Amino acid sequence: MSGKKHSAPPVYITKRDGLIWYKSWLIRIVAVLLALVLCSVIIIALTGFNPLQVYSAMVRGSFGTSRKLWTMLQNLAMLLCISLAVTPAFKMRFWNIGAEGQVLVGALATAACMFYLGDSLPQPLMIAIMLVSALAAGVVWAFIPAYFKAKWNTNETLFTLMMNYVAIQLVSFFIALWVPSGSGVMGVINQNSRSGWLPSVFGQRYFINIVVVAIVTAAMFIYLKYSKQGYEISVVGESENTARYIGIDVKKVILRTMAISGAVCGLAGFLLVSGTNHTVTTNTAGGMGFTAIMVSWLGKFNAAIMILTSFIIVFLQRGAGEIATKFNLNQSVADILTGIILFFIIGCEFFVNYKINLRHKEGK
């Protein structure tokens, strides 16, 4: 026998068979509490502030005033909308990293309608034209990589990612075209006529955005879970071989699903311009196209759970902004705190799915 002597590792990991729901939620709550404790230590060490005050400021960032509450809901709606858009694609195992670009071209199409049509049309017709253009733009932007994937099996991850940069350049080009001064900044479009602006309802300018996204959420939930097309998406995503075996036209499903994904992105672009900013910049999507990927995965592609996951992200973002201004902190400190909390929330899923066992020492 060779000389080396090996000993067994002290712990080993086994997969859980399935945890009762309250236990898994207990793990998640404990994770958040631990994150808050760790954050407190860091707050005291770095800034000397009272952590409880910092946390309460964080909560006030989302719930402090009714204005803040509505802004939070608006941010939540936008992030959720884009997350819903990428979900069918991800469920199909089509890595759509291009939501950012698909939202941007939707926004650009909306802004173009507002810019060129001005107040020449009645408001309902105007809005309808803008909406259709935005959806069409999003569909085209998503359809191109889908077509290449279906036809020549190109890598959709790279393709959709590159399409983002094309979209950004397109926006830059049109802003340069539309703004003669060369400042590169597009002002608010139709400031006076408010043509193409979504109206305020009950005195809330974001009301329509939020209602539209609520409807999209319910529709997406039902589409994925109960429709024949949703079922086909699941089958293609889980096993293309099985899909072929039962006669699903895989190429058709890829094209159709990406068209839906792009359309919802286009809708988000429309809401961002017509209902929120009334202008377009290269930063209109603001990275939400990427954050949406995380929201969708964390929500396990379930539209209902994604409401919660997008809320967590938005709540942390708003809270970080609030404490940065309130305590006059460097934005990086706020980002460190949100990073820690997110790390714990995501990391605890390991303990929900796996169990760590101690190896019992045999008695000597």
- Which stretches of the chain bind other proteins, using CB under 8 A? 1-2, 4-9, 12, 14-17, 226-229, 231, 234-235, 238-239, 241-242, 244-247
**Shortest spacing between CB 195 and other proteins, in angstroms:** 36
Closer Cβ to other proteins, 126 or 255, answer by number = 255
Q: If we measure between CA atoms, which residue out of 317, 268, 275 comes closest to residue 289?
A: 268
In angstroms, give the least distance from the CB of 154 to other proteins.
18
Measured from the CB of residue 81, what is the shortest distance to other proteins in angstroms? 22
Straight-line distance from the first to the last Cα atom of the chain, in angstroms, rounded to the nearest whole number: 24
Residue 317 DSSP label: H
Tokens of 335: 């980002």
Q: What is the three-class DSSP state of 10?
A: coil
Q: Which is nearer to other proteins, 12 or 350 (CB)?
A: 12
CB of 12 to other proteins, least distance (A): 6
Alpha-carbon distance of 218 to 297, in angstroms, equals 18
Q: For residue 138, give Cα distances in angstroms to 61, 165, 269.
A: 32, 15, 8
Of 141 and 301, CB closest to other proteins: 301
Q: Are 274 and 110 in contact (CB under 8 A)?
A: yes
3-state secondary structure at position 167? helix
Residue 205: closest CA among 275, 269, 271: 275
Residue 117 burial by Cβ neighbours in a 10 Å radius (0-12, 13-18, 19+):
middle
Least CB distance from residue 359 to other proteins, whole Å?
Answer: 8
CA distances from 187 to 159, 175, 191, 198 (A): 32, 10, 9, 17
CB nearer to other proteins: pick between 335 and 349: 349
Residue (121 or 219) nearer to other proteins, CB: 219
74 or 257, CB closer to other proteins? Answer: 257
Q: Considering beta carbons, is residue 7 or 192 the nearer one to other proteins?
A: 7
Give the shortest CB-89-to-other proteins separation in angstroms: 18
**In angstroms, what is the minimal distance from the CB of 56 to other proteins?**
43
Among 85, 11, 46, CA closest to 360: 11
Nearer to other proteins, 3 or 287 (CB): 3
CA pair distance 78, 72, nearest whole angstrom: 10
For the bound state, the minimum distance from the C-beta of residue 14 to other proteins, rounded and expressed in Å, comes to 7
What are the C-alpha distances in Å from 268 to residues 82, 140, 309? Answer: 6, 15, 18
- Cβ distance to other proteins smaller for residue 8 or 45: 8
- What are the CA-CA distances from residue 211 to residues 75, 207, 214, 271 (Å)? 13, 6, 5, 11
CB of 356 to other proteins, least distance (A): 14
List Cβ neighbours of 26 (8 Å cut-off, separation of 6 or more).
Answer: none
